[in-house]
Amino acid sequence: MSMLIKQLGTVDYQQTWHAMQTFTAQRNADTQDEIWLCEHPPVFTQGRHGRPEHILNPHGIEVVQTDRGGQVTYHGPGQLVAYFLWDLKRLRSGPKAMVCAMEQTLIDTLAEFGITAQRKSGAPGIYVKGEKIASLGLRIRKGLSYHGLALNVDMDLTPFSYINPCGYEGLGITQICALVPGSKMLAVEQAFVAKLRAHRAALELA
């Protein structure tokens, strides 16, 4: 079954999160899978088992306790966020294969801009020379996924210093425009969608 890609623009985090929950609760075996692409106003999001001590000082930025996996992270303008509303049962896939496809989509997207990125054992996400450039966090219930990933494109990285990103003290954070000056969100989004479609097709054929 084909995948619908929705471009939401800049949207409130909590409203989008609750919309994902509603979509997932109401979908059935025939509901088309969707990808929601968006940006968020500044917000810290804390995973289900996130430890409060990793929020050092929010400096007035909203902190939202969510139902995704992982620890605390930051979302803000200039970051590409992609939410994966997929039926893994229908794909005959599991969480591990899905995460692998998400990570490889990010690695291949960054390669389009001449950036060599890697996975890091024991530390989910995508890294460039030891610095984190993308984070992942999912919720999967009864084989249905929501939440997704965030790729730093051209944003103010300062708020990452207000937390221990993803629970790691002193973790370096980078972004595409720091590595390839002049990179534009639209070009990154287009490359991401193309790579995602390829990896989605591979999952469907597996």
Identified catalytic residue from 38, 100, 166, 177: 166
**Distance from C-alpha of 111 to C-alpha of 76, rounded to nearest angstrom:** 23
174 within 8 A of 131, measured Cβ to Cβ: yes
Instruction: Please give, one letter per residue, the 3-state secondary structure of 75-119.
Output: ECCCEEEEEEECEHHHHCCCHHHHHHHHHHHHHHHHHCCCCCCEC
68 within 8 A of 48, measured Cβ to Cβ: yes
| Pure H helices in 51-205 | 88-91, 95-111, 176-179, 185-205
Specify whether 38 is catalytic. Answer: no
Catalytic positions, written as ranges: 166
